[in-house]
Structure 1
Amino acid sequence: MKIGFVSLGLIGGSVAMALRENYPEARIVAYNRSKEPLDAALSDGVIDTGVQEIDDSFSGCDYIFLCAPVETNISFIPRLLPYITEDTVLTDVGSTKGNIHEAMKRLAPDVHFIGGHPMAGKEKSSYFNASGELIDGCYYFLTPSEAVTDEEVSDFEKLISSLGCHPITVQPDRHDFIVGAISHVPHMAAYSLVKLVQDEDTPEEYMRVTAAGGFRDITRVASSDPTMWEEICIANRDNITKLMDIYIDKLREVREHIAAGEGEALYDIFKGAKEYRDSMLK
């Protein structure tokens, strides 16, 4: 089996590490703009070939993973086309799916594309924070295009499952709404809470200094790469803004109960939220 990676960052590096651990005989080639991650991956034995240009090193790949930000992934599609055959499955690990599926229809409608999104990550990026364990046990969304066969989808599901992931197949628009709610809007909430404290802090910066576990936990993702999240917001803006409006309504509802001193109503909201949150941990 030959596998290609375009960009060896946190997720690309983690998937490559998991593949190497589970398929030691696989041939793995990777492109990365900067040389340091390639040198590290070669030294680690994660990849066999590292290149800084898309070239014929990608010929004959069974799978090629696009692991850069979504818009950057789209820009690589034409550069990969000379090396993609009918036996190649192209996939990605991006946080949104609608835009790359639209790009595939426009740029390469016959390429066998399966959108992918492992629900894993850290606030720290780069290959040097990657680990095969990062994706172990995670749910992994798949959004197959019309060009792929049922057999190819089944084979890819088996590959992803062999890495310890749990594949879930959905339509691209459904994926983007789901991750808008469970990932994108929570990031916006985290950024907004940090900005609130920054703007309302005392001259002595007591808020910043004394912020403890609860605040740090709920705002951890605000340390994520701002460039990546700028792109995600633009790519999934319709779902994010729709869900943010709903979230603002939820906040306003809680605010009104607090202002009115309606303790029982607050208790019901908190109890229901606690029970649903606890069910996620089972």
Structure 2
Amino acid sequence: MTTIFIKGLGLIGSSLTRAIRKRHPTFTIIGNDADPQTTAYALKHHLIDQSTRELTAAVAADFIILATPVTEIINDLQQLAQLPLKKSVIITDVGSTKQAVLKAALPLQEKGITFIGGHPMAGSHKTGVTAGRADLFENAFYFMIKTKVPDDAYLALQNLLQGAHVKWLLLSAQEHDQLVGQISHLPHVIAAALVNQTQVFFADSPLGMRMAAGGFKSITRIASSDPTMWSSILQSNSAIIIQQISQYVNELQKIQKAIMEDDHDQIFSFFKTAKNSRDELGPEKVGQLPNFFDLFINIPDQVGALAAITQLLALNKINLVNIHILEIREDLDGVLQLTFMRENDRAQAVKILTHAHYTILRKD
């Protein structure tokens, strides 16, 4: 019988557990989490078969999955190197940075233990075991890091996580850290900085933060992410993040200079270049990370307007990943952002909502 040991039953860990359970219902899953309420929930809902507070329980495992913050993953790898693990065990992680993790895994690899660095590029602003979903990673990229491990080890991990329905991508640790630093870590820093700066700016005007809606809420949504996790990420990818922040500050200084000098051409070029680059993003061009599909429609400021739309989609068995009201004011239509996991779900929603006389604004 195959035994899985997974440490960390938050959004990512519990979603992987659900995917494994769905595809491999006979596998034994041992769950470890610092929060006893989390493991109690996981046991009650049959996400895991056993719970433990001890890392030593991993000695019985055929697969070990570390789904905690990066600093904790590093510490656990050091401890696992001291345990009498199965020689055939495959250890993996889901950390958002990889160079520091691979360095911590060296003692294990020197003992002949297989370690495969991993990172699913999917998530949510929601956290915790209750937010997990078996389809959280569907159509998203799942990075595996190139190391000196047998090809059949990669295949074994892919088979274990087959129920997640991800797009596997193999790359080096340095490539990974630079890539996610730019498209994930830096945007989180920017979003948090913008929220903090806006809070200070409106310190004497409580109305200001209350009025911060529309575009502000859209571009700062990721600032609601788990601060413990993101502190760990930045500390483990510090050199790359520092360089990327410097480059971003340079971009801000260039547009600041153009505004100060009333340089119309430079200001126009700043926005034109960004628009052209942003318009090139999409699954048919460079892929989406994660692979979500957005639909924006007008919604009237009326009681029951939102419920009517969600009920219409539910009746047609169209699954929504997220709903976000971007703007709604008295006597004016608001903008409703609907997010779908699959492109065909969005296409079907467009047909249904158009037939119901809703106005489609755009698709991203």
TM-score (norm 1): 0.91
Correspondence for 2:128 = 126
> Within the alignment, does 1:185 sit opposite 2:186 as a pair?
yes
Residues 112 and 145 of structure 1 are in contact (CA less than 8 Å); yes or no, is this contact kept in structure 2?
Answer: no
Instruction: Measure, in 2, the Cα distance between the counterparts of 1:163 and 1:13.
Output: 12
Deviation per residue, 1:98-121 (Å, 9 max, x gap): 111111114553320000111112
Show the 5 A alignment for 1:160-171.
160-171=161-172
Structure 2 counterpart SS, 1:280:
coil
Worse overlay, 220-229 or 89-98: 220-229
CA drift of 1:60 comes to 4.0
Structure 1 counterpart SS, 2:135:
helix
Residues 4 and 29 of structure 1 are in contact (CA less than 8 Å); yes or no, is this contact kept in structure 2?
Answer: yes
Are residues 48 and 83 of structure 1, via their aligned partners in 2, closer, same or farther at CA, if it must alter by over 3 Å?
Answer: farther
Structure 1 counterpart SS, 2:26:
coil
Residues 161 and 167 of structure 1 are in contact (CA less than 8 Å); yes or no, is this contact kept in structure 2?
Answer: no
Correspondence for 1:66 = 66
Residues 11 and 121 of structure 1 are in contact (CA less than 8 Å); yes or no, is this contact kept in structure 2?
Answer: yes
Residues 67 and 95 of structure 2 are in contact (CA less than 8 Å); yes or no, is this contact kept in structure 1?
Answer: yes
Correspondence for 1:174 = 175
Correspondence for 2:75 = 75
Correspondence for 2:307 = none
Correspondence for 1:149 = 150
Matching residue's letter, 2:208: M
CA drift of 1:221 comes to 1.5
CA drift of 1:281 comes to 2.9
Residues 3 and 29 of structure 1 are in contact (CA less than 8 Å); yes or no, is this contact kept in structure 2?
Answer: yes
Instruction: Measure, in 2, the Cα distance between the counterparts of 1:100 and 1:106.
Output: 12
Matching residue's letter, 1:260: E
Residues 140 and 167 of structure 1 are in contact (CA less than 8 Å); yes or no, is this contact kept in structure 2?
Answer: yes
Instruction: Measure, in 2, the Cα distance between the counterparts of 1:176 and 1:223.
Output: 22
Instruction: Measure, in 2, the Cα distance between the counterparts of 1:108 and 1:241.
Output: 30
Any runs of at least 4 consecutive aligned residues in structure 1 with deviations exceeding 6 A, and if so which?
Answer: none
Worse overlay, 76-85 or 183-192: 76-85
Correspondence for 2:312 = none
Residues 11 and 128 of structure 2 are in contact (CA less than 8 Å); yes or no, is this contact kept in structure 1?
Answer: yes
CA drift of 1:144 comes to 3.8
Instruction: Measure, in 2, the Cα distance between the counterparts of 1:61 and 1:275.
Output: 50
Instruction: Measure, in 2, the Cα distance between the counterparts of 1:12 and 1:250.
Output: 37
Matching residue's letter, 2:204: P
Q: Matched residues, percent identical? A: 32
Instruction: Measure, in 2, the Cα distance between the counterparts of 1:161 and 1:21.
Output: 10
Correspondence for 1:53 = 54
Deviation per residue, 1:30-72 (Å, 9 max, x gap): 111221111111111111111122234x344232100111111
Deviation per residue, 1:68-89 (Å, 9 max, x gap): 1111112222443435222111
Number of equivalences: 280
Instruction: Measure, in 1, the Cα distance between the counterparts of 2:20 and 2:233.
Output: 26
Are residues 217 and 175 of structure 1, via their aligned partners in 2, closer, same or farther at CA, if it must alter by over 3 Å?
Answer: same
Correspondence for 1:17 = 18
Matching residue's letter, 1:129: A
Instruction: Measure, in 2, the Cα distance between the counterparts of 1:176 and 1:117.
Output: 11
Correspondence for 2:261 = 260
CA drift of 1:246 comes to 0.9
- In the alignment, structure 1 segments of 5+ residues that lack a partner are none
TM-score (norm 2): 0.72
Instruction: Measure, in 2, the Cα distance between the counterparts of 1:257 and 1:264.
Output: 9
Matching residue's letter, 1:71: T
Are residues 243 and 78 of structure 1, via their aligned partners in 2, closer, same or farther at CA, if it must alter by over 3 Å?
Answer: closer
Instruction: Measure, in 2, the Cα distance between the counterparts of 1:60 and 1:274.
Output: 53
Correspondence for 2:91 = 90
Matching residue's letter, 2:70: V
Residues 136 and 164 of structure 2 are in contact (CA less than 8 Å); yes or no, is this contact kept in structure 1?
Answer: no
Residues 109 and 115 of structure 2 are in contact (CA less than 8 Å); yes or no, is this contact kept in structure 1?
Answer: no
| Higher RCO (Cα < 8 Å, 6 or more apart) | 1
> Within the alignment, does 1:137 sit opposite 2:139 as a pair?
yes
- Pairwise CA RMSD: 1.9
Larger radius of gyration: 2
CA drift of 1:272 comes to 2.9
Bigger helix share = 1
> Within the alignment, does 1:31 sit opposite 2:38 as a pair?
no
